[in-house]
Structure 1
């Protein structure tokens, strides 16, 4: 775009050339043609002069700009060099820090691996010692061999033998009540067993035993399983495996399940007063799930206690889930919509579909420890037992190893990433303490104010006997056992 100064200069040059022509025509007496030629010559000279001067001026300006650009480039180069030096110093520090951290990590990993090897050796040594102690306790004591007595000792030995040959009166020893309670019930016919179960249900002789489920390896109580027992008119205990089939055949299982749910909810309410994170597993029969009348009664009760749904887990057998019909599926969906979660026990094989179970509301699966640690399962199951916990965890299902009876099983299950355990190693099923007495039959306990309605069927708070003693972690326990009593 032409600048205004350039236009002004051009106008001035034209005016100067025209003025020169007019002056020559008027003063010097040149004619019009000569005056015009002189004016054009002057104009051309002015144009050339202006162009040359502008070119020279532009050259000087470009030289100054080039000098400025050179100085700026030099400054930029110096700044880049400074930044490069600082970046090199920072990279050196980072590399040094990384090498130091890697050395520390390698040292810690080496110590952890060494400790792991020592713990495994300690566990193997403890297990071998336990096996030796068990075998020594099971073996009968060897009879002491004594050389033939001398003739001088024979009369004394004969007198001592005559004394030992006399009958010595022995006072009868009464077995403890706990031993009597767990003695096997005498064999009964089907009608007799059904009558005993019916009388026990009608007279409310139903007892709840609690067995804790602990976290591994901390062994902190996280859940309780409610185990049902019935007492006949002779105070003999009937286990669930003894009366479940008879109760289902006689149509009593629905009433039993409703009574068990009532007791479990009462126990859960009292447990949650002390610990909000505790949960209770309640077993439910397949017959109750498929019977519309019995299930409707249980559903109404569970609906009324919907606030306890996150901590109240309903437990079913694996065979029940494999034989679900349309009615059972609909009833499970109704329970799941109300927030209740399910557990599967009595697992006989590891052919498990976690996606289908998770879609139906299953959040726990209880597998016997012997089944998880059985080498044959690795070839017959769809997944290796060591990967089962991780697979179930992807679908929000926790694996619980049950029937744990030895420390060696705990060590092996920790390698399988099992988070929960249950078994006689931690605590056997124990009955709820009687109302007004401690769990061990000690001093009477104070009744709660809410139990002052005169009802004799209130479920008391399970005392300390219902919880296993505080245990150390698996490795610490093994080390302490190996070290012996202090």
Structure 2
């Protein structure tokens, strides 16, 4: 609809042009035709002037609106960033508060248990003293100490380097008025045997390939393939989000052999398929136990390239995974970078069969950053684990197609999460946060720890290689007090418990 001001201006321009023509006709004596031409010419100039002025005015108005919109967008972006920072700070405080409360509860429960045991010991000692004073107890008998059952802790991942000393027996002193023989002194503490978890690959280094192959066959036949779990945490909150299943082999002396010692021999001898089947079964069992407490946790399970290419072995794995298809969102199958770069027709088809059933993949043993995220995402890859030293290496900026600091953002556009592994120092964590890395793994957070078989008690007598269960939903892992030797463990004395022991 034409505005009223535009109509008014048009009328005014017509009147001005007509007045000019009448003035020329009546005053200057010009003929009517010439006066009309002059009036039309004046009207045309007025119309052109008005159109140009309106166009200039509209342009200035549009420019102002664009500037206002830009300022509003910038303000909105700043507010969103501020809200993001506040939300991250709140999440960090909540995570820290949960961890602190859990630690406090653990310490209080431990001290209560220790106080209960000490009170029982104190009651037993007092009762024995009363019996001796009444003459009812043998003069040279020592009061036995009741064996303490260590209470099962809330944490479920074990540490294997703790070696509790044997508790000293409490003896009842005879009355001073009678000449009674002193009770026999406590026997010296026997040196604790080194648990199997503390044995490193040095034992495997002393074997040749024939001995390793024999040990490998015996371990497979006797089901002595153990699973260790190493957590992957979120950064910077350091909340446990995933676990990687690490394979360990136990020989006939219960000494552990690391995977890098026997994997090449297992692949050459054709035994890697049986190992992968056993490890996959253990991973599913562990994942089911984990998901009882935390539905958001996941497990990374390593699969060898030969297993993926062997039709018979892969058919068995596929049948097993098909039966456990409900766990597909939480079970991540991990392959080496070299495996993905050398996929043949059979491997590609088998990989597509796994992806079709909903299983996700991860890539580890990354040696360079020449990565094609679109191709990997199409194949079902959702995680890439890169060593922290490789990400922070300045030489990678010139050797790869993308700067390492932009790798996480690039992978995120295709739905792939970057995991920095082998983190061993706080300095590396600070640098990785600048690279927008969301997940981290390494000995800085926790080493691989063994699993305790389901149903095992928390008392002594467990085998040295037995592990403890998985942690609770808060994602924190604390050392357990499960015994790894035949000697009865002494409980840790802290706080009020120490005061009661002194009393």
- The TM-score bracket by the shorter chain reads 0.5 to 0.7
Deviation sequence 1:89-132 (CA, Å, 0-9, x none): xx9xx99x99xx89x98xx89x99xx9xxxxxxxxxxxxxxxxx
The alpha-carbon distance between structure 1 residues 176 and 194, as it changes in their structure 2 partners (threshold 3 A), is closer
Following TM superposition, by how much is the alpha carbon of 1:188 offset from its aligned partner in structure 2, in angstroms? 1.7
- 1:218 match: secondary structure: coil
Q: Distance in 1 between matches of 2:474 and 2:243?
A: 9
CA contact (8 A) 2:294 2:473 kept: no
Q: Paired residue for 1:281, among 300, 314, 336? A: 300
- The answer to whether the aligner puts 1:218 opposite 2:226 as a matched pair is no
Q: Paired residue for 2:200, among 172, 176, 182? A: 182
Deviation sequence 1:324-377 (CA, Å, 0-9, x none): 000000000000000000000000000000011001000000000000000110
Q: Distance in 1 between matches of 2:446 and 2:324?
A: 29
The alpha-carbon distance between structure 1 residues 331 and 256, as it changes in their structure 2 partners (threshold 3 A), is same
- The answer to whether the aligner puts 1:333 opposite 2:352 as a matched pair is yes
Q: Distance in 2 between matches of 1:179 and 1:172?
A: 20
Following TM superposition, by how much is the alpha carbon of 1:172 offset from its aligned partner in structure 2, in angstroms? 9.0
CA contact (8 A) 1:268 1:279 kept: yes
TM-score (norm 2): 0.55
Deviation sequence 1:198-235 (CA, Å, 0-9, x none): 10000000100000000101111100000010101121
- 1:351 match: secondary structure: coil
- The answer to whether the aligner puts 1:462 opposite 2:464 as a matched pair is no
Deviation sequence 1:397-421 (CA, Å, 0-9, x none): 0000000011110100000000000
- The answer to whether the aligner puts 1:324 opposite 2:332 as a matched pair is no
Tell me how large the CA RMSD over aligned residues is.
Answer: 3.4
Q: Distance in 2 between matches of 1:407 and 1:300?
A: 43
Q: Paired residue for 2:387, among 360, 365, 368? A: 368
The alpha-carbon distance between structure 1 residues 466 and 426, as it changes in their structure 2 partners (threshold 3 A), is farther
Higher RCO, Cα 8 Å, sep 6+: 2
CA contact (8 A) 2:336 2:364 kept: yes
Indicate the residue corresponding to 1:195 in structure 2.
Answer: 214
Q: Distance in 2 between matches of 1:297 and 1:431?
A: 26
- 2:202 match: secondary structure: coil
Unaligned runs of 5+ in 1: 1-90, 116-169, 446-457, 471-486
Higher Rg: 1
Q: Distance in 1 between matches of 2:250 and 2:460?
A: 26
CA contact (8 A) 2:384 2:417 kept: yes
Q: Distance in 1 between matches of 2:381 and 2:390?
A: 20
Q: Distance in 2 between matches of 1:433 and 1:296?
A: 30
Indicate the residue corresponding to 1:270 in structure 2.
Answer: 289
Q: Distance in 2 between matches of 1:179 and 1:305?
A: 31
Indicate the residue corresponding to 1:430 in structure 2.
Answer: 449
Following TM superposition, by how much is the alpha carbon of 1:236 offset from its aligned partner in structure 2, in angstroms? 1.5
The alpha-carbon distance between structure 1 residues 360 and 183, as it changes in their structure 2 partners (threshold 3 A), is closer
- The answer to whether the aligner puts 1:303 opposite 2:303 as a matched pair is no
The alpha-carbon distance between structure 1 residues 467 and 195, as it changes in their structure 2 partners (threshold 3 A), is farther
Q: Would you say how many aligned residue pairs link Structure 1 and Structure 2?
A: 301
Indicate the residue corresponding to 1:342 in structure 2.
Answer: 361
Following TM superposition, by how much is the alpha carbon of 1:396 offset from its aligned partner in structure 2, in angstroms? 0.4
Q: Distance in 2 between matches of 1:326 and 1:205?
A: 34
CA contact (8 A) 1:181 1:236 kept: yes
CA contact (8 A) 1:427 1:467 kept: no
Following TM superposition, by how much is the alpha carbon of 1:435 offset from its aligned partner in structure 2, in angstroms? 4.0
Q: How does 1:334-483 map to 2 (within 5 A)?
A: 334-437=353-456, 461-463=469-471, 468-469=476-477
Following TM superposition, by how much is the alpha carbon of 1:238 offset from its aligned partner in structure 2, in angstroms? 1.2
CA contact (8 A) 1:211 1:430 kept: yes
TM-score (norm 1): 0.57
Q: Distance in 2 between matches of 1:218 and 1:443?
A: 35
The alpha-carbon distance between structure 1 residues 434 and 305, as it changes in their structure 2 partners (threshold 3 A), is closer
The alpha-carbon distance between structure 1 residues 248 and 201, as it changes in their structure 2 partners (threshold 3 A), is same
Return the structure number with greater helix share. 1
The alpha-carbon distance between structure 1 residues 413 and 177, as it changes in their structure 2 partners (threshold 3 A), is same
Following TM superposition, by how much is the alpha carbon of 1:187 offset from its aligned partner in structure 2, in angstroms? 2.1
